[in-house]
């Protein structure tokens, strides 16, 4: 957690699902909004709280910042915490990062955990059911840009969705399939089949699409690679590292350094 001493602004990171931490991890049960308000009142410094899209009642249509709340078990405390900060005299700002944040570390993969393993098992990109459920995504560097913009421009009580794009599971499977160099087409697993390999298969058919339009009105212009490009690239690098002769794709042409970076 960063402080306002010495003219600095505060950014509070809350670990929710797979969200990045702007500073150090803080256990939600130990957060006391009243103490934060007391610490900030009169300082004229902004306080940014990183929240979670998990508390929203989301679907395939991108949800805005004022979407209906439906926090799952374990997240019931978060809406109340957010409201106490936003309704106080502190210049409180809430940022909800997209469901998938890619580009966090040089060695991390943009491919959500388990999907690459499934693709390799079936030798094709895999999705569950129709594959039309949608997820939101943002590049880590674009997310960092939004924090900087929010510090300068966001008014007290503002909630922002850090979402640069939304994608379907079908598109994820296609990008993985293409990067691994498989022939034919990606294919679907029924929920029953998928449960054999992924116990949380039912959850993976849900949609978590967010709208990032409000953030763009502040001047946020996400410009880093699409998550689809990163997924295809990561699949390509994985195929090469496993001794597979990867395809001649746009990813290969743009990533001439892949061979040097691959162990």
pLDDT of residue 62: 95
pLDDT of residue 13: 46
What integer best gives the mean pLDDT of the chain? 79
* pLDDT, mean of residues 96-121: 79
The distance of Cα 250 from the centroid of its chain, to the nearest Å, equals 25
Q: Please list, residue by residue across 207-246, b when 16 or more beta carbons sit within 10 angstroms of its beta carbon and e when fewer do.
A: bbbbbbebbbeeebebebbbbbbbbbbbbbbbbbeeeeeb
pLDDT of residue 113: 63
Strand ranges of the sheet holding 165-168, from the earlier edge strand across to the other edge: 100-102, 134-139, 165-168
- Asked if the model's pLDDT at residue 6 lies above 60, the reply is no
- Asked if the model's pLDDT at residue 4 lies above 60, the reply is no
* pLDDT, mean of residues 130-145: 94
pLDDT of residue 155: 93
* pLDDT, mean of residues 108-124: 81
Residue 137's φ and ψ, nearest 5 degrees, are -150, 155
Q: Domains of the chain, with CATH numbers?
A: 5-261 (3.40.50.720)
pTM of the model: 0.77
- Asked if the model's pLDDT at residue 17 lies above 80, the reply is no
Nearest Cα to Cα of residue 144 among 109, 214, 95: 95
130: confidence class by pLDDT, cuts 50, 70, 90: very high
pLDDT of residue 106: 53
Higher-confidence residue of 224 and 19: namely 224
Q: How far apart are CA 103 and CA 192, in angstroms?
A: 33
pLDDT of residue 145: 95
Give the rounded percent of residues in the chain with a pLDDT score beyond 70: 74
Higher-confidence residue of 188 and 255: namely 188
Helix, strand, coil tally for the chain in percent (to 5): 40, 15, 45
pLDDT of residue 97: 95
33: confidence class by pLDDT, cuts 50, 70, 90: low
pLDDT of residue 5: 33
Q: How far apart are CA 86 and CA 91, in angstroms?
A: 8
């Amino acid at each position: 957690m960063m402080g306002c001493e010495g003219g600095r602004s505060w950014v509070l990171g809350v670990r929710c699902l797979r969200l990045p931490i702007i500073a150090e991890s803080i256990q939600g049960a130990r957060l006391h909004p009243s103490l934060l308000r007391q610490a900030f009142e009169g300082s004229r410094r902004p306080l940014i709280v990183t929240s979670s899209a998990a508390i929203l009642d989301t679907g395939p249509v991108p949800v805005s910042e004022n979407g209906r709340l439906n926090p799952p078990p374990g997240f019931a405390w978060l809406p109340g915490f957010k409201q106490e900060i936003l309704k106080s005299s502190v210049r409180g700002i809430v940022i909800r990062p997209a469901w998938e944040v890619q580009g966090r570390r040089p060695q991390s993969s943009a491919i959500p955990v388990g999907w690459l393993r499934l693709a390799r098992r079936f030798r094709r990109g895999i999705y569950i059911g129709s594959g039309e459920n949608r997820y939101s995504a943002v590049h880590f560097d674009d997310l960092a840009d939004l924090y900087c913009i929010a510090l300068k421009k966001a008014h007290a009580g503002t909630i922002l969705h850090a979402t640069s794009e939304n994608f379907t599971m079908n598109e994820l499977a296609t990008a993985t399939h293409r990067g691994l160099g498989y022939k034919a087409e990606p294919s679907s697993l029924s929920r029953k089949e998928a449960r054999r390999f992924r116990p949380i298969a039912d959850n993976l058919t849900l949609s978590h699409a967010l709208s990032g339009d409000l953030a763009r009105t502040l001047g946020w212009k996400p410009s880093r690679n699409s998550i689809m490009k990163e997924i295809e690239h990561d699949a390509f690098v994985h195929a090469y590292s496993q001794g597979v002769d990867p395809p001649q794709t746009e990813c290969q042409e743009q990533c001439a350094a892949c061979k040097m970076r691959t162990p």
